[in-house]
Amino acid sequence: MSTADFSRVPMRASDLTLFVLACATVAASVIYLAVVYQDIPSRVPTHFNLMGDADAVGDKAMIWFGPVLMSIIIVALWIVAVINTNTGQGEHQLSERGHRTTIGLMRRMLALLALCMAAFSWESILLVSGRMEGGMWLLMSIAATIIISVVYSVRMLRVAKSEQRNTRPPRI
């Protein structure tokens, strides 16, 4: 069966909710930044080492970089989640069930990563503006991003492997 026969996989309401939550979180961080921007010193830390200590400073306008970059990344993740429904090439086509399972896992991973990007937006504002000390939350967000990517990638690979063995794919 070709992918074209079942290429339209509707997005789950839970994944859509995660994307909307990520967008709302980034929007809230931008609004917060606009409100407190006047109170931020003209020179702010722009880079932190692994211990959470500032090791570079720059103009306060740099504080906008985090939320803008995270907004762009979230939009890109949304576009990939909506458009990318190709799960196989050539002879490695998945069954309809495997295809839907893989697309569901990919979309959940992207939605969770979008939430991590929203957290990065807040953390960048709070760290740079001096309203949050240390980089522990930032390190936890980075770890969450890595863990989510690895766990969901492994789950998608398991679906493909189970398809190769002609067994049922694992449940989401």
Q: In which domain, by residue range, is 57 found? A: 3-164
- Collapsing DSSP to helix, strand or coil, 171 comes out as coil
Put simply, whether the predicted model's pTM sits higher than 0.85 gets the answer no
Number of independent structural domains in the chain: 1
How does pLDDT run across 31-66, given as a tens digit for each residue? 999 999 998 889 888 777 777 677 888 898 988 988
Residue 64 resides in a domain = yes
Residue 39 resides in a domain = yes
Residue 171 resides in a domain = no
- pLDDT value, residue 170: 62
Residue 172 resides in a domain = no
How does pLDDT run across 108-154, given as a tens digit for each residue? 999 999 988 888 888 888 877 777 766 677 778 888 999 999 999 99
Residue 169 resides in a domain = no
Residue 14 resides in a domain = yes
